[in-house]
Structure 1
Amino acid sequence: MLYDAKLSQDMANQLLDEGIYVIGFFYPVVPKDKARIRVQLSAAHTKAHIDKAVNAFIKVGKNLKVIS
């Protein structure tokens, strides 16, 4: 949960730059001030795919100061 609409969009854009496609949802799709990132996983994703996504989330999260 990121809460901030702009932050959710910035995170989604930076994750895309890392090769990870996610959606940043914000109002009116979710309640106001409840912006978030949604990912979709499938059984077709490998451990390598998951590791790449986790590493990208860590990198981008630290860059945007949502992960310390």
Structure 2
Amino acid sequence: MAAAGFTISGNDHPICPVMLGDARLAAAMADDMLERGIYVIGFSYPVVPKGKARIRVQISAAHSDEDIDTCVQAFTEVGRKHSIVP
């Protein structure tokens, strides 16, 4: 995800916040991800501080490498659609 241009907060944890900053963007991207079959949640104020909106991604041992690759590909496509990544 970082290589694709996303800012990921935290290391070595199953919850990987994809930092976006804007609440509407986080909600729109989460909706677009759901349309691609990837269930993620957009969080914004008051759940997180203003200006720190994010999409919460949770990885588990049940996810295969293929699952993770599919998720990264979907994030990349959606990120390009919303001009977040090149």
What range is the shorter-chain TM-score in? Answer: over 0.9
Q: Structure 2: which 5+ residue stretches go unaligned?
A: 1-18
Q: Determine if the alignment matches structure 1 residue 57 to structure 2 residue 69.
A: no
Q: Choose between structure 1 and 2: higher helix proportion.
A: 1
Normalized against structure 2, the TM-score is what? 0.77
Name the structure where strand makes up a greater proportion of residues. 2
Q: Which residue of 2 aligns with 1:21?
A: 39
What is the letter of the counterpart of residue 31 of structure 1?
Answer: P
Percentage of identical aligned residues = 57
Aligned length: 68
Query: RMSD of the alignment, in Å?
Result: 0.5
Instruction: Note the residue ranges of structure 1 that are not aligned, 5 or more in a row.
Output: none
CA distance in 2 between partners of 1:20 and 1:35 (Å): 19
Runs of 4+ in structure 1 off by over 3 angstroms are none
